[in-house]
Amino acid sequence: MVAVKQKAKFERDILNRLNGLGVYLSGGIDFSSDKGKGWREEITPFLENKGIKVFNPLNHHKTFHIKEDIDTVKRPYMQKLLAEGKFDELQGEMRELCHLDLRAIDLASFMIVSYDTSIHLCGTVEEISIASKQVKPVLLMCKNGKKKLPSWLYGRLQHEYFFDTWDEVKAYLTRIDSDPNYQFTKVDLKRWLFFEGKHMETKNA
């Protein structure tokens, strides 16, 4: 893996910088109206078309060697345990799920967050903190507008990575990925790491 240390390295006709990287999709599930499915399903094809490995916490069974479908089996079962007050069993199930989520963050190169200020977020906050401590880009989309974000996030994250719409997120990633004239900022240079390979070569090389 090569670190991004000099802007000059990227002032070329680079093809597909994001190829081979992994992204973790963080955002509310328990209190989201669609259990966090919609935005994850919508953005995944865009990311995969750039050669990015997508870590979706609703689809861990498609990434890790586990038997249960997270979305249709494990989470409904956990809701049943909660409703029945079987807290010991719920704790055991949730600890397994936390392990999968946090391991996926470790494996990812960057994170995309859907931050909804109208619902209570818990795991999302911890995931953001972990990714930031690992010096990864944390791209945060707030549908309520980034002016509505908690002030604390401005003190702990990079506001250049806060977006009001998914179109803005996609446009930024497209520039990072394939714009030969994109000028990497100081924030970019500190956070982004790309794998070496032919996808990092110029068309004329």
Spell out the domains of the chain, with CATH numbers in brackets.
22-179 (3.40.50.450)
Q: What are the average pLDDT values for consecutive 10-residue runs of the chain, which has 205 residues?
A: 46 73 96 93 97 93 79 85 92 90 96 95 95 97 94 95 98 94 93 86 55
Do 142 and 163 form a contact (C-beta atoms < 8 A)? yes
Torsion of CA 59, 63, 126, 175, to 10 degrees: -90
Handedness of CA 152, 141, 56, 133 (dihedral sign): negative
H helices of 49-165, where?
Answer: 75-83, 87-107, 123-133, 151-156
Written as one letter, the residue type at 131 is A
CA distance linking residue 201 with residue 1, whole number of Å: 15
pLDDT at 1: 53
pLDDT at 16: 93
Do 114 and 26 form a contact (C-beta atoms < 8 A)? yes
Tell me the whole-structure pTM to 2 decimals.
Answer: 0.86
CA distance linking residue 115 with residue 90, whole number of Å: 25
Residues facing residue 23 across a β-bridge: 54, 110
Do 31 and 25 form a contact (C-beta atoms < 8 A)? no
In sequence order, the 6+-apart residues with CB closer than 8 A to the CB of 176 are 17, 18, 182, 188, 192
In b/e form, how buried is each residue of 78-112, taking b as 16+ CB within 10 angstroms? beebeeeeeeeebeebbeebeebbeebbeebbbbb
pLDDT at 39: 97
pLDDT at 93: 87
Do 13 and 203 form a contact (C-beta atoms < 8 A)? yes
